[in-house]
Structure 1
Amino acid sequence: MNDAPSDEDPTDTLDARYFDGRSSRPHGVQLRMTRDGLCVAPLPSSGRASPPVAPFAPFTVSPDQVRWPERTRHGGRLAQLPEGASLQALDVVRWDAWVARHGGHAESRVVRAQQSWRGVAAALVLLLAAIACMYQWGLPVVARGVTALVPLKVDVLIGAKALASLDDSLLQPSELPVAEQERLRRRFTQMVAQAHPEGAAPWNLQFRKGRDRRLGPNALALPGGTMVLTDELVRLLPGDDDAVLGVLAHEFGHVRLRHAMRQLVQASAVGFGVSVAFGDYGTLIGTAPVLLATLGYSRDAEREADEESVRLMRAASLSPRAMVGFFEAIEGWRGAQRRTGQDDSVIGMAFASHPATAERIAFFKAAAE
């Protein structure tokens, strides 16, 4: 700060409060813009109403040492000076006009946009678009990375708890003949070995029967490699082992790519982040079965699992067209359920809970050609 130089326009002044940065006592001051910068002088003690006046020597502050506040629709104005000193506006309207007239603070585009409802609306649209993009593309990428950091033993623990929860609520022991179960398990083991001779992700096929109509003909893949196949699905496709194996191959795709864990990470990103950071997965293991019952796979995950299904079927010399027959059968079953008012599937990640889209049917038809 320098001693005040000569005035350029002694009549163009602005009254303000000055705080010296050493005490909370305000000083009434008069501001003038000079050739050398901002001149701060004690407010003349004429009869006008003003803040308390404390005489001190006028000084000048270089323009690059004054931090002018942004203009806002509401709120006061406080300019920052060196050594913790500051200037406070008495009249916001006069302050803004005086600062603009003297070019004391060039407003940025952001500040100008804040004063316009169009600018605010545009910012809101951009914010919503950014959030949507993050949810659509960013979160899956983050989930994939976080899942890679989660030990496989966590998948196994979550899968075991999820299966126990399903056995207590929706599932009961299978009534399929043991020989039929072993035939399907043996053929699927051969499929996986043929498609992945180098070794595949661990898996465990379990047969169950639904306790009621809510689950119906279905299959689902749990974290840790457990795949559940219902008696109802096998009976929906009597004598069509190829279609049943195609469904199992699809579920194996979810297992190999850890889709269930990725969906859990996306659904509770913050919780998983904390667990990965501290290595404590107890809370997540306890709550994961509930989340699994409500989550559904993304279209990308279903597409990846369909690709794995085709890969395994081709390796076993089976036609992917068998999956078209499965989709037709499951859609027929779902239509019958709707007609009788019983379309109430409750497991979001179960295979038959996802509609057979034309895209998926076309995919398997094309793969069969």
Structure 2
Amino acid sequence: MMQIIQGSYFYPGQNRKVDAELRLDDSHFELWQTSEALLITTGSVNTLHLQALIPGLPAEWQLADGALFCAADASYRPARRSAAGFSEKLEQNKGLILASLLLLPLLGWWWLAVGMPATAERLVPLFPDKVYQITSHQTLNILDQLHLEPSKLPAERQHQYRSQWLQELSGLESLLPAQGQYRIEFRDGGRIGANAFALPDGTIVFTDQLIDLLQDKPDALVAVLLHEAGHSIHRHGMQLLARSMASTMLLTLVTGDLEGVADTLIGSGTALLDAAFSRDMERQADLFSAQQLIARDKSPAAFADAISALSKKSSTTSQLESLLRYLSSHPSSDERINTATKLAEKPQ
């Protein structure tokens, strides 16, 4: 029985197609150009290969010379003369489809929550030195343009703190990645308020508001300094960068582009996922600060004093002050204070 299928014929090795019809029976086929009733080619059906049938896409047959015939009706499904291919079997297996709907989200969650942080931690030591320097320079430039102002602290006071703190860090420079060097910067935090943060190359920035808040607690300021130094030493900033790059690549693979929904996912999803990742980093930096305070014959309770003061300040000021502190992704203030207090109570 002859079948007649309307579609398009694509010439082999050419960017050219014509309207055509495929005439099939049990033993041979004919391909006709419909506009001119011209026979294009004919042959045995054994030389005509039906491509994998993909839901929503039209059936395609490939000829021995590389030419292709594509059916016009995407819903048309010809009877196969041979067993379905592996991909077709997967597409037709309802159990596997259901399993994929359940497993793919779990796999995505595992990659974002476990696989990506572990991969980032292993990749970061491979970054060239220049990446640390450029990233730190550009980050500070952006913050200066958008959120920070030049420090209003007197130059003498800045010099006093800088000299004292660089002396505190003098034995730790060898631990910095990428041949970094500690540098102390001061800025007016404006709406950000009392804050300190570390950049990947060893630059540590204090806001005027934090200096004023802890000016009567010099050891608390040193505790914050050592905490931020811990972030640089453990490459936390670059790990977050590597994680962000990996999440962008994953979203690109899944969505095909980064517009629309993908932009929303990057903006909100990454922020939520960073919470668990950042908590581990904060605990690591907290422990580093406590250990370094003990090594300097200072009490880890100084770090508890700093967290307590920041916690009280943040509860009475604008939420914008949490922009750089990532308070929502940090361990709770009570947890951090209790940990530092317990370390202070241990016999040295």
TM bracket, shorter-chain basis: 0.5 to 0.7
Q: 1:164 to 1:15 in 2, by over 3 A?
A: closer
Q: Deviations over 1:263-299 (max 9, x none)?
A: 4555567999xxxxxxxxxxxxxxxxxxxxx999833
Assess if the C-alpha contact under 8 Å between 1:174 and 1:230 holds in 2: no
Q: Superposition pairs for residues 1-369 of structure 1, below 5 Å?
A: 13=1, 15-16=3-4, 26=20, 29-32=23-26, 39-40=27-28, 59=44, 61=46, 67-84=49-66, 95-96=77-78, 98-99=79-80, 102=81, 104-108=82-86, 110-112=87-89, 114=91, 122-140=99-117, 141-142=119-120, 145=123, 148-149=127-128, 151=130, 152-155=132-135, 157-158=137-138, 161-162=141-142, 164-165=144-145, 169-175=148-154, 178=157, 182=160, 184-194=161-171, 196=172, 198=174, 201-211=180-190, 214-237=191-214, 239-264=216-241, 266-267=243-244, 298-337=278-317, 342-345=318-321, 348-350=323-325, 357=332, 358-368=334-344, 369=346
1:241 offset after TM fit, Å? 2.2
Q: Aligned residues, how many?
A: 304
The offset of 1:114, in angstroms, is: 3.6
Structure 1 residue 349, shift from structure 2 partner: 2.8
The letter for the 1-side match of 2:303 is M
Amino acid in the other structure paired with 1:345: E
Whole-Å Cα distance in 1 between the matches of residues 128 and 243 of structure 2?
Answer: 14
CA distance in structure 2 between the partners assigned to 1:360 and 1:202 by the alignment? 28
Query: What is the aligned partner in structure 2 of residue 36 from structure 1?
Result: none
Q: Which amino acid aligns with 2:324?
A: M
Uncovered stretches (5+) of structure 2, i.e. residues with no partner: 250-270
On the 8 A contact 2:279/2:330 being kept in 1, the answer is no
Contact kept in structure 1, 2:196 and 2:228, CA below 8 Å: yes
| Aligned counterparts of 1:239 and 1:15: Cα–Cα separation in 2 | 92
Greater relative contact order (CA < 8 Å, ≥ 6 in sequence): 1
Quote how far apart the aligned CAs of 1:207 are: 3.9
The aligned counterpart of 1:47 is none
| Whole-angstrom distance in 1 between the partners of 2:10 and 2:331 | 73
1:234·1:244 contact (CA, 8 Å) conserved in 2?
Answer: yes
Cα RMSD over matched residues? Answer: 4.6
Residue 218 of structure 1 aligns with an amino acid whose one-letter code is N
Tell which structure's C-alpha radius of gyration is larger: 1
> 1:203-225: CA deviations, max 9, x gaps?
122344544xx233221223543
**Pairwise CA distance, 1:250:** 0.9
